[in-house]
Structure 1
């Protein structure tokens, strides 16, 4: 038997952080995605215990300032692309500059230097991941998805989707539909 699961990365990570901080009895406040303020002095032992408890989930504490800023850039992009409340119609360069209080040129150069890819490429990858989720959810047409993610046309979305995944969004839709049919058939 196979089931399909819909989840929000931000909510999952926040829940894990909350649970692990509570388990370690660390008084805290979650400020934003990936940022926690300790409301008390935390011993090295507690901090190590907390860090070790996050490791199995692929979550780690970041200490290097450049790495912290890179993570903030990634978090801001993920929030821009995946957040249902935010409007993706804003220019990403303006959004990142305003959100992170640095010039876009500085952010772009730093991101490329550390990650060996561009901010633009990271945004495309996130948009394609969101497109996949929206296709799997099956509630929006490709035209609606293209509009929602601020593509100029379905053809533009399709082109980026194919360049990133190797298949068209329509082919991806057919694969998902076929998998559901097989899963339903096997269930009966």
Structure 2
């Protein structure tokens, strides 16, 4: 049986969810970002107990198919951005459609309906969080960051960054790192 879990966005999350599954007496075959596959079917009381434990830890067990699709989209985008290498002519439409084997326009409508923002806006917000991270590491120039994250120019990155954060990238770099958000909280 497959379980879909919201807010499972990093390797530490995978480890925590695996531990919770094992504590609940469930045998995970695999646990990857956003989902876990179990060796058998859990009982209803086991599922409710697991759901309560996951909620306490900031995760949500997704039973609704729409929410499962949304979480798959979110994880695809988060994973792509966190790799830190987005090709210059990257197509979000192609990337989402090919990975989920679904029509992009239907996925886009669903995402907007449920999340209150478009897939493109979510992608931009994720990229800006990655820019913040890279700026705070202070290892790359702004042009290197722009290139790595698929921006057409430093001006494009700077304009988008200022529009979202209210700061220029250089002002942000000099400010306190408290401006960063957790990946699963970026869209809120």
TM-score band (shorter)? 0.7 to 0.9
In proportion to residue count, which structure has more helix?
1
Structure 2 Cα separation of the partners of residues 140 and 9 of structure 1: 25
Partner residue in 2 for 1:180:
none
Task: Determine whether 1:163 maps to 2:173.
Answer: no
Indicate the SS of the match to 2:144: helix
Output the TM-score relative to the length of structure 1.
Answer: 0.83
Verify the 8 A CA contact 1:29 1:38 in the aligned structure 2. Answer: yes
Partner residue in 2 for 1:91:
91
Structure 1 residues not aligned, in runs of 5+? 1-7, 178-188
Partner residue in 2 for 1:25:
25
Indicate the SS of the match to 2:62: coil
Shift of 1:131: 0.9
Output the TM-score relative to the length of structure 2.
Answer: 0.83
Report how many residues are paired.
168
Which is bigger in relative contact order (C-alpha 8 A, separation at least 6)? 2
Pair member with larger Rg: 1
Structure 1 Cα separation of the partners of residues 30 and 13 of structure 2: 11
Shift of 1:30: 3.0
In proportion to residue count, which structure has more strand?
2
Structure 1 Cα separation of the partners of residues 175 and 16 of structure 2: 32
Structure 2 Cα separation of the partners of residues 113 and 62 of structure 1: 17
Task: Determine whether 1:149 maps to 2:157.
Answer: no
Indicate the SS of the match to 2:175: helix
Indicate the SS of the match to 1:41: coil
Shift of 1:166: 0.9
- Structure 1 consecutive aligned stretches of length 4 or more whose deviation exceeds 4 Å: none
